[in-house]
Chains A and B, each alone.
Chain A
Amino acid sequence: MTTADVFKPFLMRIDKVTEETPDVRTLRLAFQDEREGRGFTFRTGQFGEYSVFGEGECTFCIASPPTRQGYIECTFRKAGRVTGALADLEAGETIGFRGPYGNVFPIDEWEKKSLLFIAGGIALPPMRSVIWNVLDLRDRYRDITIVYGARTVADLVYKSELAEWEKRPDVRLVATVDPGGQTPDWKGEIGFVPAVLDKLAPASRDTVAVVCGPPVMIKFTFPVLARLGFAPEKIFTTLENRMKCGVGKCGRCNVGKHFVCKDGPVFTFAQLQEMPQEY
């Protein structure tokens, strides 16, 4: 007798590899067993454990939206043992995936509201899922604004999608790079995300803000949003603590009594204000 175990991953075939920057890549993954794929559903904001057999597992959000079926995507920076191994793989090869885990961005509750997305660097991937999710249901939402910053032009991920959003009349994209990170032909903003946001001064009325980025960006962005009149419960973010199990057992992702893997990864700023600084 054997039994399906929570730690047993799906086998996924790499269908497509996109090199986003010299050290960031996106993998499009399809279920090796089509029947498993048909039974698989997820919602935007959820994450998974991706594995290279023999190297181990690592945690990323699902970077594609649930509105695009038949595959999932993940985007990661080559940084450690497993991401290093993932960076060496090619289309056609097999990796493991288990999930979806965690809670979701409550996009149903955001209907008829304007949405303000603010992302920094490698934190656009978790937001890309929700951005495409709402763009695929575009008529349910009002204005959609995306503020995205990276250290340099070379560090901007999803360049072709940024170009697509730039062209869309129903999306306002504000891209920025840190001072010194611009190229001669850079047409976007130059400045740190909080400063660019401050200058942009988007309206907070009937608007939900979603913020993802490195801790320092988050730290300086919240006060700007507060000044613009965003209530803490109208600001959403997604936390990315180190995880192993993804299902509330291994004991390391907790922020106080909250499991990032079970109670998150999506939290409102109102919730974060009640939580200890363990992220």
Chain B
Amino acid sequence: MNSMEKDTRLIGREALAKLFAQWLGEGRRILAPKQSNDKVDFAEVETPGEVSLDPVQTGQSPKGALFPRVEELFSFPSRDGRVELRERDLAALKPTVVFGLRPCDAAALAALAAIFNWDSADALFSARLAALTTVGVACNRCDEYCFCTSLGGGPGATTGSDILLTDMGGGEYLAEVISEKGRQAIQGAGTLFQPALGKDKESRLARVEKAFDLDKVKPALEALFDDEAFWVEQSLRCLGCGACAYVCPTCACFDIQDENGRRLRCWDSCGFGLFTLHTSGHNPRPLQSQRWRQRLMHKFSYMPERQSVLGCVGCGRCSRACPVDMNILEHLRAVAEAKP
């Protein structure tokens, strides 16, 4: 592919530090993978030196930048017994650069946007998305949990990144400027970049083998829906702990709770028995097997059908986080190959 047409350039480590300084100067905050004790997760950074791109993946996905684990929807201070509603000031949400997210995480933004805005726009999510610029970093390495290529993604995929960097070795990054937001993020920083003539990222990318045929998954799931034995077998180990949903870059199910004069939106999980429990005690999904089925159906059947987007990007976080070693890749392969 001709790199000139794609607006591809080179940037070195020192120039990247200057770009970080420029972003901070513009009032943006930068979230990037950062080591804290034995964990690497997205946190605020000021220099590229603080960024840790060593692990294949961060433990938590960057979804919190758009959909925080707990966020205030509005507050309701009480004055002389009269309730007053105080809305969030969306203009106060800080413009944010998420740096160093992997192509799978960048692809997940489309799934999140579909969930929050498919029918009516979610004000907080939309405001955060509008103020977000993503600088992805292509994957030089992968592990046995990665399966982005089975879902149409790839270690060098540009979808969802405003700029995608590829580590070319020797302290140099190939920078592909993908979107208008990406162009704005490097406005005035032209001298920081070098021409990228003759550079090609492909040789630097991890090789993620295709693990199953995605086209088979949706029809197979639908055919298997009433196969109780299949779902019991699939979910026998599941503790219902919800870790998979918390680390997932696309899981966006939420709860709404009041606390200290504020109405809060909090992450939730379809894996919890309480999730669907009626006040009467009746539960439409009382069994863990039904809740595991819901997880797969939502991501691979309902979302593609209702919102035209897959609810999974193949990042493998759920498999890495699962305390009982459920590997979603193996489960999907079993679905794709099932003979109902």
A residues with a Cβ closer than 8 A to B are: 1-9, 11, 51, 53-58, 79-80, 83, 94, 96, 214-215, 240-242, 244-245, 247-257, 262, 276-279
Could you write out 13 A-B pairs with CB less than 8 Å apart? A2-B87, A2-B88, A8-B87, A53-B76, A54-B258, A249-B116, A249-B252, A251-B268, A251-B270, A252-B275, A254-B298, A257-B306, A276-B226
Q: Are A1 and B91 interface neighbours, CB within 8 A? A: yes
For B265, what are the chain A residues with a Cβ–Cβ distance below 8 Å? 7
Q: Which 10 A-B pairs have the closest CB atoms?
A: A251-B253, A1-B91, A5-B123, A2-B87, A80-B279, A278-B284, A7-B73, A257-B302, A79-B279, A53-B76
By beta carbon, the residue of chain B nearest A6 is B120
Query: Closest CB of chain A to B16's CB: distance in Å?
Result: 33
Instruction: Classify the interface of chain B: helix, strand, loop or mixed.
Output: mixed
Q: Are A83 and B279 interface neighbours, CB within 8 A? A: yes
Of B83, B253, B277, B305, the residue contacting A257 (CB under 8 A) is: B305
Q: Are B279 and A251 interface neighbours, CB within 8 A? A: no
Query: Closest CB of chain B to A81's CB: distance in Å?
Result: 9
Q: Are A6 and B123 interface neighbours, CB within 8 A? A: yes
Q: Are B83 and A11 interface neighbours, CB within 8 A? A: yes
By beta carbon, the residue of chain B nearest A261 is B119
Query: Closest CB of chain B to A245's CB: distance in Å?
Result: 7
Q: Are A256 and B302 interface neighbours, CB within 8 A? A: yes
Number of A-B contacts (CB under 8 A): 124
Instruction: Classify the interface of chain A: helix, strand, loop or mixed.
Output: loop
Q: Are B85 and A11 interface neighbours, CB within 8 A? A: yes
Q: Mark interface residues in B264-297 (1 if CB within 8 Å of A CB, else 0).
A: 0100101000011111101011000010001001
A8 to B88, CA, bound (A): 10
Among A4, A5, A55, A241: residue with most chain B CB under 10 A: A5
A112 to B180, CA, bound (A): 58
Q: Are A54 and B261 interface neighbours, CB within 8 A? A: yes
In this complex, how many residues of chain B approach chain A with their Cβ under 8 Å: the count is 52
Cβ of B339 under 8 Å from chain A: no
Q: Are A276 and B225 interface neighbours, CB within 8 A? A: yes
Of A8, A214, A250, A262, the residue contacting B268 (CB under 8 A) is: A250
Residues A251 and B252 in contact in the complex (CB < 8 Å), given A79-B279, A262-B119: yes
Residues A9 and B85 in contact in the complex (CB < 8 Å), given A53-B78, A250-B268: yes
Q: Are B279 and A2 interface neighbours, CB within 8 A? A: no
Cβ of B301 under 8 Å from chain A: yes
Among B118, B119, B127, B279: residue with most chain A CB under 10 A: B279
A1 to B88, CA, bound (A): 9
A58 to B124, CA, bound (A): 22
Cβ of B189 under 8 Å from chain A: no
By beta carbon, the residue of chain B nearest A3 is B123
Residues A252 and B83 in contact in the complex (CB < 8 Å), given A5-B123, A245-B256: no
Q: Are B85 and A241 interface neighbours, CB within 8 A? A: no
Cβ of B90 under 8 Å from chain A: yes
For B268, what are the chain A residues with a Cβ–Cβ distance below 8 Å? 244, 250-252
Cβ of B122 under 8 Å from chain A: yes
Q: Are A3 and B83 interface neighbours, CB within 8 A? A: no
